[in-house]
Amino acid sequence: MEKHTKICSFSIRKTTLEALDKYVAARGKRSRSELVSELLDFAIDQKKHQHDEENIPGDGIIPEKISIKWYESLYFNSLRDYFYSGDCWFEIRLHGISVSEEGEIEEYDSLVDKLNEFHEGLINDLNVKLGKDSDLARTFIGAIKSDDVKILAVRVRGTQEYIPGVGPVRNVVYAVTLVNVKENTHSKDHFYLDYHAIQVLDVREIGRAPLSTLVRKKNKQLAPGYLYWMPITIFQNKMLVMGVRRRALSDQAIALVKSDDVIMVTNQAIRVKKNRK
């Protein structure tokens, strides 16, 4: 069987080695060699894409073509004859989600169930207020059955607490809208509007630093290749900021959007409440 590792030796600063050993010991399960390999892989990957990050306007004026693509993708903008504004976001609250190894799966299932309830309620309201055969009702029902229109659900806040006799549970809030993804996923433009990279910033932070700085300070695990960070809406004192990425680096993200009916964005961290003693 072919080996996937090879032994080599090199010098390293004592202080670096001490820091490395402390890091390994803190995690418990990872060997020094495995960690060094991962760090080298990451550094090489960053270096490989370094030219992509050079001369990129961090917070310059976002080209009109990019902002228009987002605006036109909002499904409710196609209903201008019925709505005053196309920037329609709805609140979905999920309570008492049990936290386990499958916590994220349970959160997704709970969100889908809640969205189905919301959808049925919205259709019923349209049928009652406008009539089952109204143009708006027919247009809306037809659109949400299309593969091109997806539900975009962004977690804007979440808390976790321990309930005696039940265990740890989560309560989360999502901002939800509909987006027509076809012009984004099938486009030949050099950029891609990365829904899964949407970041949630407190409006009180805005102005303290460039958006790109605020985003990268909050999420240090962001992949390279982002050209711009574009504000898309303000929801409950939170600013939603979308990453505009090089299309050449976005194949995996595009495939995920095409396959899922719900684009679930969970970049916003869960705040753990401490139990009172």
DSSP string across 198-245: EEEEEGGGTTSS-HHHHHHHH-TTPPS-EEEEEEEEEETTEEEEEEEE
pLDDT band at 258 (very low <50, low <70, confident <90, very high): very high
CA 19, 23, 24, 30 torsion-angle sign: negative
Answer whether residue 185 shows pLDDT above 90: yes
| 13-38 per-position pLDDT tens digit | 888 788 778 777 766 656 777 777 77
Q: Are 203 and 239 in contact (CB under 8 A)?
A: yes
For the chain, domain boundaries: 14-42, 61-272
**According to the model, what pLDDT value does residue 10 have?**
76
- Give the mean pLDDT of 133-159: 77
pLDDT band at 157 (very low <50, low <70, confident <90, very high): very high
Mean pLDDT of the chain: 79
- Give the mean pLDDT of 73-101: 72
- Give the mean pLDDT of 188-216: 90
Answer whether residue 116 shows pLDDT above 80: yes
Strand partners, 52: none
What percent of the chain is predicted at pLDDT more than 90?
26
Strand partners, 244: 193, 228
> DSSP 3-state assignment of 133?
coil
- Pairing, β 167-180 against β 90-98: antiparallel
E runs forming strands in 63-166: 90-98, 149-163
Q: Are 144 and 122 in contact (CB under 8 A)?
A: no
**According to the model, what pLDDT value does residue 1 have?**
38
Q: 103-112, 129-138, 216-225: lowest mean pLDDT where?
A: 129-138
Residue with the bigger pLDDT between 162 and 174: it is: 174
CA distances from 212 to 13, 57, 69, 207, 227 (A): 33, 10, 20, 11, 10
Answer whether residue 103 shows pLDDT above 70: no
Answer whether residue 118 shows pLDDT above 60: yes
- Which helix (H) or strand (E) element contains residue 257? helix 251-259
Residue with the bigger pLDDT between 143 and 253: it is: 253
**According to the model, what pLDDT value does residue 153 have?**
94
E runs forming strands in 27-148: 90-98
